[in-house]
Amino acid sequence: MRKNIVITGASSGLGKGMAIEFAKMGRNLAICARRTERLEELKSELLAINPDIQVYVRALDVNNHDQVFEVFKAFKADMGSIDRVIVNAGMGKGASLGTGYFHANKMTAETNFVAAIAQCEATLEIFREQNAGHLVTISSISAARGFRRALTVYAATKAAVTSLTEGIRIDVRRTPIEVTCVHPGFIRSEINEKVEKVPFIVDTDVGCRAMVKAMEKEPANCYVPSWPWSVMYRLMKVMPDSMIAKFS
């Protein structure tokens, strides 16, 4: 059992939802994000759910790469060992390229991919030293294809996360380190709260339960909720562009 779990981007959305599910399961949690006041509120909520667990809180801006390494090492010192790290922090700002929103597109690219590299580096330094651990990255169903408008850069970063995770998994395949890439479908969160029409969307608690259940099995890849996304992910790869355009 993975007892000690680190979750980045835990102050809201999927990170918060996963933390709640793990608290119910009796896992110790190390939660980090930029908004520490929300983390403290979440800590109180988690301890109310299960007073027998340990909850550690630290401020972290994942785009401050030196801080990523510092915070992960501090969490290891807090907990003694880290059994699972969930690279969850991300954002969805952006617009069609060429429409004047380079700054937003660049911010999404740096947060979702470059910062993910830093988190994976920091995690694997610890796991290689421990000779154990479970790295989980949060990609997206959008990794299957390119998308238009606000999803153009977002989908590209998630495809990169999926590829990065696969490469890491191949690299550590003869070690006790396990690697999982989670591809959530449309789950209600702060990233998509302003989107009005989204197919097959589920509430945050439903989606997070599915994510936690899937990652507990430690597969190489999972698509959640399993229905319809385990099928849709494969279908999307062969859909014509005209159909993909309807998703964004």
Question: 100 near 106, Cβ under 8 Å?
Answer: no
Concerning whether 154 is annotated as a catalytic residue, the answer is: yes
Task: Kindly state the tokens that stand for 120.
Answer: 């994976």
What is the rounded distance in angstroms from the CA atom of residue 20 to the CA atom of residue 49?
Answer: 8
Which position among 56, 154, 223, 233 bears the catalytic label? 154
Q: What is the Cα–Cα distance from 184 to 215, expressed in whole angstroms?
A: 11
Contacts of 97 (CB under 8 A, 6+ apart): 105, 152, 153
Note the Cα 70 to chain centre separation in Å: 20
**Pairing verdict, β 55-59 and 177-184:** unpaired
CA distance to 1, 94, 105, 196, 224, per residue, from 244 (Å): 39, 18, 20, 17, 19
Cβ contact 223:138 at 8 Å: no
Structure tokens at 127: 């796991």
Encoded amino acid at 205, one letter: D
Indicate which residues carry an active-site annotation. 154
